[in-house]
């Protein structure tokens, strides 16, 4: 079948076989998990409805039927990987990682043994095996490709008899870069008796653990050509279903793994009162502890039949063989498009770390027009707004990550000491990226997936010439709206008239926050119902009234809770706060449907902004946020072909303290150095960087893609998406801000 024919067929399958929700997303993370077609899943459950399957350890008719199906699947797995059940046994595991762990904990490491990994593609699941080796006083090493190949070329048989067992572990294909490694290494390594790491190790018999998790998902494996001792795979990466099922293929003539623990199903006899048991004879019977996920195994057999058939192939091996060529074809198209995409000044939009002909992976980072790195979290955010699934970070592969990003182990330690962990969004530290972006293809990828990704790149990541901003000078501008947000991430309170200022900004602005049981503050991004919590401060009554649906809470402004906590985290920093009692917290917990606590900032502890060291309460970055009506209107016009409502709804999204109107051009606030509102003088701290917080729809309580998606098209500056300006007070004498006060700008 030609590529274009297959692409047309896949488009047809997606249109008829995938749900509307599935079609709405573009999946470019097949290396993590591919997708199974709904009609195939229907066949699985049709089989379950037609047959009774039960625990294979019983001797009932249903159990015998189940065992027969399981044995059939084992045989078909061997055939799928180019071998037979006579050569390999199949041990079912949870996933490929579980298979590798099983080898590590059962391998006879001892003093003088070696465990060797590939330096440039050291996945955590393989690296973890080193702990078993080192615990037994063995030696661990990571070698690069050149060292391995030169060692194998110089390999000479030693007349001394092997006295220990060594293990060499490597991937058939790197999950991070898509680079494939010679499976012929297996033959050379197994013929070795000498160690890799020198005379401190002993001569021994070498065994090979091949991680085929990524390779097998888009390539045919031929285990009768090169015969590693152990092979780990995960089936959801190949077929999309079932998850929670992998396998360890073990060569039957590799009688080296030592079972320590025994369980139900693994022994032929055991005594309850003395230490006596005898393990079962076959490899899978000894190593499959307890009852295997037999329904998943049977489901796998159905999927291996039906998914290839859906795509026009008679067997799964032919299907994967074509998928290998097809994904390589799509990868080449994407690679060339990325390679030929530049910023307005001609500089490349991305740095591609790996492209290998015939691979299904591209690993890269995106660049600004000045050549600096754009953090992967910015790219991920843009992808989310376009309903694109991709992978970012280090992909559990520190070996590839270190090589691509030129990071050292010392860099990793320093990053960790600074608080960076592998799943956070600290994507650039000291100018160096801490991770990268990976896109990967699968059987159901299409040419339209390429176009959708490239559209996102052009809309959000390619820098265009910034539109010139026309300053209006010091023309008549006034403060049209004034807001405070007493409880962080809850609804605004609009001020009618005037409002007092303090050293930390507007009186009571973000003086309260809501935290979870771990002490982290809650936000609308994860708890959209917070937008419905409406605080109202009555200065005359000395109270704040908090409406939560039909329930209202009264908070005395002059009283502070007596319980102090100092482990609350707000925007990455620890903050000391005062916790309210159960009568308050229970109302909030019931309304938000999560256990939470209202916390007031302690008046005894100051909190400062990171840059200017201005006093703030629980604000993120500054004392004030200001937007202009002109900028709001401009964005509103871009969002709708025909504007039918005012831009007031955007005020609710952007959550400013100050809205200014008058004779002002859109975004001319970008040029301001300082300003005066009435008699209150303020300095500009920075432009305001926007996140998905502005996408929370208060009416539907959902997180949408707008307005952030549109802003990314024309208001992106490097890794930031800008709208509004952050301000701090220049003077701290007691003053009030008044709605309709005149505003005077001083430009940079």
555-564 pLDDT tens trace: 999 999 887 7
Q: Which residues contact 348 (CB under 8 A, 6 or more apart)?
A: 339, 341, 342, 367
Look at 459 and 415; give whichever has higher pLDDT: 459
Q: Is it the case that residue 388 has pLDDT exceeding 50?
A: yes
What pLDDT, on a 0 to 100 scale, did the predictor assign at position 227?
Answer: 97
State the Cα–Cα distance between residues 431 and 411, nearest whole angstrom.
12
Q: Specify whether the CB–CB gap between 105 and 248 falls below 8 A.
A: no
Sequence-distant (6+) residues with CB within 8 A of 9 are 1, 311, 312
Domains of the chain with CATH codes: 49-306 (3.40.640.10), 322-461 (3.90.1150.10), 484-616 (no CATH), 624-747 (no CATH)
Q: State both tokens at 396.
A: 């559990």
* Residue appearing with tokens 């799964």: 316
Q: Where are the beta strands (DSSP E) in 192-229?
A: 204-211
| Mean of pLDDT values over 59-67 | 94
d(CA 94, CA 293): 9
The confidence score (pLDDT) of residue 611 equals 62
pLDDT at 646 > cutoff 60: yes
Instruction: Give pLDDT tens digits for 480-520.
Output: 999 999 999 999 999 999 999 998 899 999 999 999 988 88
More confident of the two residues 478 and 605: 478
Asked whether 519 and 565 are in contact (CB, 8 A), the reply is yes
pLDDT given for residue 272 in this prediction: 85
CB 138 within 8 A of CB 165: no
CB 41 within 8 Å of CB 65: no
Mean pLDDT of 97-122: 95
Catalytic residue among 134, 396, 422, 691: 396
More confident residue, 274 or 80: 80
Burial profile 292-311: b = 16 or more Cβ within 10 angstroms, e = fewer: bebebbbbbbbbbbbbbebb
Exposed, middle or buried by CB within 10 Å (0-12, 13-18, 19+), for 622? buried
Closest CA to 56 of 302, 288, 305: 288
Q: Where are the beta strands (DSSP E) in 542-671?
A: 543-548, 551-556, 563-570, 573-579, 597-601, 607-608, 615-616, 624-628, 658-662
> Hey, what are 389's tokens?
């699934």
**pLDDT at residue 472 is higher than 70:** no
The tens digit of pLDDT for each residue in 18-29 reads 998 899 999 999
Average pLDDT over residues 53-74: 95
Is the pLDDT confidence value at 473 over 50? no
Assign 470 a pLDDT band (cuts: 50, 70, 90): very low
At 469 the pLDDT is: 41
Task: From residue 336, give the alpha-carbon distance in Å to each of 122, 175, 353, 453.
Answer: 28, 21, 14, 13
Between 582 and 602, the higher pLDDT residue: 582
pLDDT at 68 exceeding the cut of 50: yes
Q: Is the pLDDT of residue 263 over 90?
A: no
Q: Is 548 a catalytic residue?
A: no
């Amino acid at each position: 079948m030609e590529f274009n024919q297959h692409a047309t067929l896949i488009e047809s399958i997606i249109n008829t076989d995938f749900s509307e929700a599935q079609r709405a997303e573009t999946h470019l993370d097949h290396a993590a998990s591919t997708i199974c077609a709904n009609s195939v899943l229907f066949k699985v459950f049709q089989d379950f409805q037609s047959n009774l399957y039960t625990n294979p350890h019983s001797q009932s008719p249903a159990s015998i039927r189940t065992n027969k199906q399981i044995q059939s699947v084992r045989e078909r797995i061997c055939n799928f990987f180019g071998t037979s059940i006579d050569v390999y046994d199949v041990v079912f595991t949870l996933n490929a990682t579980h298979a590798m762990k099983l080898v590590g904990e059962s391998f006879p490491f001892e003093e003088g043994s070696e465990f060797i990994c590939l330096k440039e593609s050291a996945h955590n699941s393989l690296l973890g095996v080193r702990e078993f080796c080192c615990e037994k006083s063995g030696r661990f090493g990571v070698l690069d490709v050149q060292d391995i190949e030169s060692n194998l070329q110089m390999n000479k048989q030693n007349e001394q008899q092997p006295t220990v067992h060594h293990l060499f572990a490597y991937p058939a294909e790197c999950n991070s870069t898509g680079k494939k490694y010679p499976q012929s290494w297996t033959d050379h390594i197994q013929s070795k008796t000498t160690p890799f790491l020198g005379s401190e190790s002993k001569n021994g018999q070498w065994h090979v653990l091949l991680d085929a998790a990524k390779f097998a998902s888009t390539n045919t494996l031929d285990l009768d050509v090169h015969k590693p001792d152990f092979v780990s795979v995960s089936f959801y990466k190949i077929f999309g279903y079932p998850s929670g099922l992998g396998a360890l293929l073990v060569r039957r003539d590799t009688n080296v793994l030592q079972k320590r623990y025994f369980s139900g199903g693994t022994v032929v006899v055991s005594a309850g009162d003395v230490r006596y048991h005898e393990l079962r004879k076959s490899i899978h019977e000894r190593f499959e502890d307890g009852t295997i996920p037999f329904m998943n195994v049977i489901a796998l057999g159905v999927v291996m039949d039906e998914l290839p058939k859906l795509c026009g192939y008679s067997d799964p091996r032919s299907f994967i063989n074509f998928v290998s060529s097809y994904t390589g074809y799509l990868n080449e198209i994407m690679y060339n498009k990325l390679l030929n995409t530049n910023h307005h000044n001609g500089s490349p939009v991305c740095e591609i770390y790996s492209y290998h002909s015939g691979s299904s992976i591209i690993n890269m980072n995106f660049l600004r027009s000045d050549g600096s790195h754009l953090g992967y979290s910015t790219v991920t955010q843009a992808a989310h707004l376009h309903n694109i699934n991709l992978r970012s970070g280090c992909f559990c592969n520190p070996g590839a990550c270190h090589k691509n990003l030129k990071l050292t182990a010392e860099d990793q330690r320093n990053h960790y000491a600074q608080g960076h962990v592998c799943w956070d969004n600290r994507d650039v530290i000291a100018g160096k990226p801490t991770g990268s972006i990976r896109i990967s293809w699968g059987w159901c990828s299409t040419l339209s997936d390429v176009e959708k990704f490239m559209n996102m790149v052009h809309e959000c990541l390619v820098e265009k010439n910034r539109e010139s901003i026309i300053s209006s000078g010091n023309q008549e501008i006034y403060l049209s709206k004034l807001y405070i947000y007493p409880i962080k991430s809850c609804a605004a309170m609009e001020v009618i008239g005037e409002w007092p200022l303090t050293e930390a900004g507007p009186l009571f602005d973000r003086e309260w926050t809501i935290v979870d049981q771990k002490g982290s503050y809650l936000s609308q991004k994860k708890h959209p119902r917070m937008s419905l919590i409406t605080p109202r401060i009555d200065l005359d009554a000395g109270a704040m009234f908090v409406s939560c649906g039909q329930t209202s809470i009264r908070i005395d402004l002059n009283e502070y809770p007596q319980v102090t906590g100092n482990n609350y985290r707000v925007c990455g920093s620890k903050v000391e706060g005062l916790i309210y009692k159960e009568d308050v917290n229970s109302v909030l917990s019931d309304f938000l449907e999560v256990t939470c606590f209202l916390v007031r900032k302690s008046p005894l502890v100051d909190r400062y902004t990171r840059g200017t060291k201005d006093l703030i309460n629980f604000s993120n970055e500054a004392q004030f946020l200001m937007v202009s009506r002109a900028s709001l209107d401009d964005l509103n016009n871009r969002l709708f072909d025909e504007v039918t409502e005012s831009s007031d709804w955007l005020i609710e999204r952007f959550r400013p303290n100050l809205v200014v109107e008058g004779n002002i051009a859109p975004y001319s606030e970008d040029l301001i150095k300082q300003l005066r509102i009435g008699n209150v003088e303020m300095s500009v701290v920075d432009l305001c960087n926007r996140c998905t917080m502005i996408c929370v729809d208060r009416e539907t309580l959902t997180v949408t893609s707008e307005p952030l998606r549109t802003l990314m098209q024309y208001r992106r500056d490097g890794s930031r998406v800008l709208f509004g300006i952050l301000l701090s007070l220049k003077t701290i004498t007691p003053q009030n801000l008044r709605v309709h006060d005149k505003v005077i700008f001083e430009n940079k």
